[in-house]
Amino acid sequence: MIRNWTGASTEEVFYELADEYGMLVFNDFWTSTGDYNLNPSDDYLFRDNVKDVVVRFRNHPSIAVWCPRNEGYAPGFLENLIQQIIAEDDGTRHYHGNSRYTNMMPSGPWGYRHANEFFDLADGFNTEMGTVSLATSETIRKFVAEEDLWPLNDIYVYHNFHYRGGGYAGKGLYMTDVEKIGKEQSKNIDEFAQRAQIINYISHRAMFESWNHKMWDKASGLLLWMTHPAWYGMLWQIYSWDYETHGSFYGSKVACEPLHVQWNINDNKVIVVNTTLHDLKDANVEYAVYSPDGKKLYGRKAKVTMTANRKTDCFVQEYPANLPDFGLVRLTLSNSRGK
């Protein structure tokens, strides 16, 4: 699902492509964030615009939800006008009066945290969650002058790499985790950005895997804030404004694959997720630990039937106590033919 945030896209091609690629659309109207942004000054003009958009695009099967505004309800009188239009002109489609709170999880958080913390956050349906995602050094060089590339400085702050407390916490913790990857501190932006892609991958994969581990129980969906910014940024993106993909893109992609195996780092459960409509019988699951130089140190296998549209527990596996403190965990899922 892609959220058309505050209804910013009103081009036919947006909906045509969503139809073609099987993307559901959570479609807002244009009232911006509740509680502190202004309400429309002309309710009837707003109503007419809603009717135009609904009638124009209602035959696109990609549209799943109409929503009046971001993070809030429409003003009461306007809410009644919008509901009347949906009922009369698109009565089979779902209308949801708020992008959060109403039978959903509050928006956010939007800052970096350790991967295991996402498992504590997963609940219900969340239309916005994000974290830091530093761009590649090739992209950073397109908007940061060579003399400002290293060390990290106020130029990076200007491009959003600065949030500390509250919902945007994370720059300091993110940098700490990035630097844990090497035996010594990064010497330049190329080294730092390359390490950052690993952290981008881990954190975004953990976001979706945390929802996977409660799916069909207490969780139903998560939307990222966001795909990419128009601004040359350092957070809230799985690809940059120039379409360069980050580790965050691949972490999200892996976690959301239709047949997926994962290790829940909060409870040590190895589970498989099948979001297809077909059972996979006699599947093989392996949990293995490798040393940094690629030597296999430990392995455990199990057979499992992956029931359609369901998650299945395989076994509980703690990191083996007799192994070095640092190892690479690899999970493998294969069918009965070894594919």
User: Does residue 243 sit within a domain?
Assistant: yes
Q: What mean pLDDT do residues 193-199 have? A: 97
The alpha carbon of 324 is separated from its chain's Cα centroid by a whole number of angstroms, namely: 32
At residue 168, the pLDDT reads 57
Establish if 101 belongs to a structural domain. Answer: no
Tell me the percentage of the chain whose pLDDT exceeds 70. Answer: 98
How many domains is the chain partitioned into structurally?
Answer: 3
Over residues 70-116, the pLDDT tens digits come to 999 999 999 999 999 999 999 999 999 999 988 999 999 998 999 99
Q: Does 156 lie in the same domain as 29? A: no
First-to-last CA distance in the chain?
29
CA 153 to chain CA centroid, nearest Å = 28
pLDDT for 166 equals: 46
pLDDT of 162: 75
For the entire predicted model, the pTM comes to 0.94
- The rounded mean pLDDT for the chain is 94
Whether residue 121 is found in the same domain as residue 209: yes
- pLDDT tens sequence across 136-192: 999 999 999 999 999 999 999 899 887 564 455 567 889 999 999 888 999 999 999
In this prediction, residue 306 carries a pLDDT of 97
> Considering the domain boundaries, does residue 171 fall inside one?
yes
DSSP state of 7: G
pLDDT at 101: 87
Which residue, of 42, 63, 95, is where some domain finishes?
95
Query: In sequence order, which residues have a C-beta less than 8 Å from that of residue 309 and are 6 or more positions away?
Result: 216, 274, 275, 276, 277
36 pLDDT tier (thresholds 50, 70, 90):
confident
Whether residue 273 sits in one domain with residue 212? no
In-domain check, residue 107: no
- Specify whether 84 is located in the same domain as 144: no
* Cα-based distances in Å from 220 to 122, 137, 154, 217, 275: 9, 36, 40, 8, 12
* 128 and 196 part of one domain: yes
Residue 106 lies in a domain: no
Q: Flag whether 109 is in a domain.
A: no
CATH of the domain at 299: 2.60.40.10
Residue 165 sits in the same domain as residue 120? yes
- SS3 state of residue 257: coil
Radius of gyration over alpha carbons of the chain, in Å? 22
CATH number for position 205? 3.20.20.80
Predicted local distance difference test score (pLDDT) of residue 52: 97
Other Cβ atoms less than 10 A from the Cβ of 194: the count is: 16
Domain that residue 53 falls in: 2-95
Domain boundary among 205, 232, 255: 255
